[in-house]
A = this chain, B = another copy of it.
Amino acid sequence: MLATIESGSRTDRVIAVLTELITSGRFGSGDFLPSEAELCKQLGVSRPTVRMALRTLETRGLVLTKQGVGVQVTDRTRQAVTDSIELMLLRGGAAPRDVLEVRLMLECQGAALAAQRATDDDLAAIASAIADLRNRPQGVTETVDADLRFHLRVAEASKNAVLVALAHAIRGLLRDTIAATWRVDDRTEERLQDHADVLAAVSARDPVMADAAMRAHLCRTERLIEVLREGGAIPKTSP
């Protein structure tokens, strides 16, 4: 048992203990924590207290509780980072221009890094996403998903987890806007070619060209967004 006198509420102490158990590796990904009842006995607190602590750990992406099964240790910390960034931007009332600007920075630099670090698997994954997009899936939703997958794969090829989380969060904010751009059939062929250009630059291990290709692609999309916004297809409040 811990020293009885510590700072914070009991819940906070339970959070600290469980977090330590997981980050120290005593419980690895996939392992199941003892049941809530067991944790109560071992920690000397009631079930609501344990549950509140577990809820915090779940929010932080350390565990995943499944009804009827148990509490499983996972590593969804990247998702947690993405979520909190998205919330921060939502709360801060991010201006559309600001979001687009930062996206441009992150994705272009990400593409440049990808050109330096992408493995063959990464290249295959990017190519696969492009193929999905070319095959023109049924609805707009599938198209947007494929588009999102392409950008995500490029970001992942940068091998920078922080950049992936940031890019992903920002993309989440732009999802509706980008969906609108795919709804119109304006210059679709050029946009598909843009994707191929990015892949070519990354495959050629040319950071400068990768940056430029991605920049050209995003700028084209931004111009399209601007047109749609003037036409009233996109509300100005959401980026």
Interface residue from B77, B90, B95 paired with A91 (Cβ < 8 Å): B77
Q: Are B163 and A166 in contact (CB under 8 A)?
A: no
Interface string of A96-139 (1 = CB under 8 A from B): 01110110011001000100000000000000000000000000
Say yes or no: is A51 at the interface (Cβ < 8 Å to chain B): yes
- Interchain nearest-CB distance for A176 vs B (Å): 15
**Count of this chain's copies in the oligomeric assembly:** 2
Say yes or no: is A70 at the interface (Cβ < 8 Å to chain B): no
Chain B residues with CB below 8 A from A233, complex form: none
Q: Are A105 and B109 in contact (CB under 8 A)?
A: yes
Q: Are A94 and B51 in contact (CB under 8 A)?
A: no
Q: Which of A84, A113, A165 has the most CB of B within 10 A?
A: A84
Q: Are A161 and B93 in contact (CB under 8 A)?
A: yes
Nearest 6 CB-CB pairings of A with B: A94-B161, A77-B88, A98-B162, A98-B160, A81-B84, A59-B59
A–B Cβ pairs within 8 angstroms, 22 of them? A9-B67, A51-B52, A60-B83, A62-B91, A77-B91, A78-B93, A80-B88, A81-B84, A81-B85, A88-B161, A88-B162, A89-B165, A92-B161, A92-B162, A92-B165, A94-B161, A99-B162, A101-B160, A101-B162, A102-B160, A102-B166, A105-B163
